[in-house]
Amino acid sequence: MTTSNFFAVDLGATSGRTILGSICDGTLTQRELTRFPNHIIRTGGHFFWDIYALYHEIIRGLKLVAEEGIKLTSIGIDTWGVDFVCIGKDGGLLRNPYSYRDPHTQGAMEEYFKLIPKERVYEKTGIQFMNFNSLFQLSAMHSHGDSALEAACKILFIPDALTYMLTGEAVCEYTILSTSQTLDPRTRRIDPELIGAIGLKEEQFGRYVNPGDTVGTLSTEVQQQTRLGPVPVVAVAGHDTASAVAAVPAQDEHFAYLSCGTWSLLGIETREAIINGKSFSYNFTNEGGIEGTTRFLKNICGMWLLERCRQEWTDAPADVNTVNREAMEAEPFRSFINPDDPRFANPTSMVQAIQGYCRETGQPVPEDYRQMARCIFESLALRYRQVTGYLRELAPFPIERLHVIGGGSLNPYLMQMTASSLQMPVLTGPVEGTAIGNIMLQAKAAGLVSDIFQMRNIIAQSIEMKTYLPQDATEWNQAYKRYTDTTTTT
């Protein structure tokens, strides 16, 4: 039996890892090679990503593969969306990229809408309005006379920039481009009017590639560093959520998915973009998927709320599973927050932000980590119900179940709350959905699978799933009414 080995780089907004995925006789196995933090660097009044540190970690993982004598079939990289790197005329990176949490985009949407109206931007792109979308980052940089943007010959999104550092090839992968609010989903190209309004041209971005396309091979320099040969680098679904959705082990289209991590991304998979007045009013997004699909979804603030609180708590257990369990000792349905309130985007103190929200809305204020964690979990479950209700209004098919992927699926209390809140079965797994989707798209590029159905069949046979069924309908219905009375944002 022949084993094919794939090297997956999966970078999130707080941490990253490299994974070795192997397929033998129709079964997928995976092994984490390295795990490392992804720090936001604060300096000069801005927040940056350390792209060189991320590159170093990729090289470190590749060196481990070489030391073990493993023959790689290919390499693939997925990351979070919207952020990008500016490349100069000499081919060098001009500066570490801004983080989407940088405050320089405050007010950028409103300023851009003076150039092109909001309704026209949505009609062109079908993308959810968030002030950190690439279009508004670029607009802010243009307005501020940013020196890196002014000198940029190429603008590469994060996975494409790392691929460039490995291969020297400048590309623009479809799924990561679709997060930028510069892509027309009908033409699958950058809209010239949207970027032209801020002085940019389509040729300043890399050549277009789709998930499963081979970009190039490791450069001579990287081969020397890693002691590997000219291993192909494949454009997987560069946006981590697109790779994660590719790994959903669904048997038909009648499902919604929730990628539950730092962000919660809740949506459906469709053949065509859904762009109409209702999707505009609900602020839904149409992002690229694999094999011509569209990920129609809404971004919801996720475990970022808990992660930030844990950094502040001095009396809470270090183990997150213990925190999750002890949260269930707190009084249920005591207080709720809207997870997507702007105050929770990047506050100085998340604890104080949550307490302030509850105080301002006339609710009991969470005083300890148990009450606060329970407030977060219940609020997320109720927000999922609200957004699923919007999806049901817009979906071209009935939604019968929710597939949850990502690290949040390991929290059994949140998963049970979600099933009870939605009054719908919740199926969890795979936990490492993003890495698995990354690996399976490399497998498709290698000819091991022919389509998404074969991919998902292998995944379903290779993982263990758990099902949560609804409970306590009356209590959750009452809680949802209180939640909608307390919060107003769509």
Say how far apart CA 157 and CA 10 lie, in whole Å.
15
Task: Name all domains of the chain by residue range, CATH numbers in brackets.
Answer: 3-238 (3.30.420.40), 239-429+465-490 (3.30.420.40)
Say how far apart CA 175 and CA 80 lie, in whole Å.
11
- Summarize the confidence of residues 409-419 as an average pLDDT: 97
The whole-number pLDDT of residue 275 equals 97
Could you say which of 240, 252, 341, 368 is catalytic? 240
pTM assigned to the model:
0.87
Say how far apart CA 346 and CA 430 lie, in whole Å.
29
The whole-number pLDDT of residue 464 equals 85
CB 489 within 8 A of CB 452: no
Q: Average pLDDT of the chain? A: 96
The CA distances from residue 233 to 44, 273, 474, in Å, are 35, 29, 52
CB 141 within 8 A of CB 102: no
The token pair that represents 363 in the structure block: 């609710």
Angle (deg, nearest 10), helices 51-67 and 158-167: 50
Q: What is the pLDDT of residues 275-295, one digit of tens each?
A: 999 999 999 999 999 998 999
- Looking at residue 213, its amino acid is D
Say how far apart CA 348 and CA 47 lie, in whole Å.
14
Percentage with pLDDT > 90 across the chain: 91
- Summarize the confidence of residues 154-172 as an average pLDDT: 98
Say how far apart CA 75 and CA 55 lie, in whole Å.
13
Q: What is the pLDDT of residues 300-334, one digit of tens each?
A: 999 999 999 999 999 999 999 999 999 999 999 99
Say how far apart CA 462 and CA 190 lie, in whole Å.
38
Say how far apart CA 426 and CA 409 lie, in whole Å.
10
Q: What is the pLDDT of residues 223-272, one digit of tens each?
A: 999 999 999 999 999 999 999 999 999 888 899 999 998 899 999 999 99
The whole-number pLDDT of residue 461 equals 85
The whole-number pLDDT of residue 489 equals 65
Beta bridge partners of 79: 239
Say how far apart CA 269 and CA 363 lie, in whole Å.
37
69: alpha, beta or left, given left = phi > 0 and alpha = psi -120 to 50? left
- Looking at residue 45, its amino acid is G
| Confidence check: pLDDT of 396 > 70 | yes
Question: Is 252 considered catalytic here?
Answer: no
The CA distances from residue 104 to 47, 193, 390, in Å, are 9, 23, 31
Q: What is the pLDDT of residues 354-393, one digit of tens each?
A: 999 999 999 999 999 999 999 999 999 999 999 999 999 9
Q: Are strands 171-173 and 154-157 parallel, antiparallel or unpaired?
A: unpaired
- Looking at residue 295, its amino acid is R
Residue 364: name the closest of 328, 337, 327 by CA. 337
Is the preceding omega at residue 430 within 30 degrees of 0, hence cis?
yes
What is the pLDDT confidence band of residue 490, given thresholds at 50, 70 and 90?
A: low
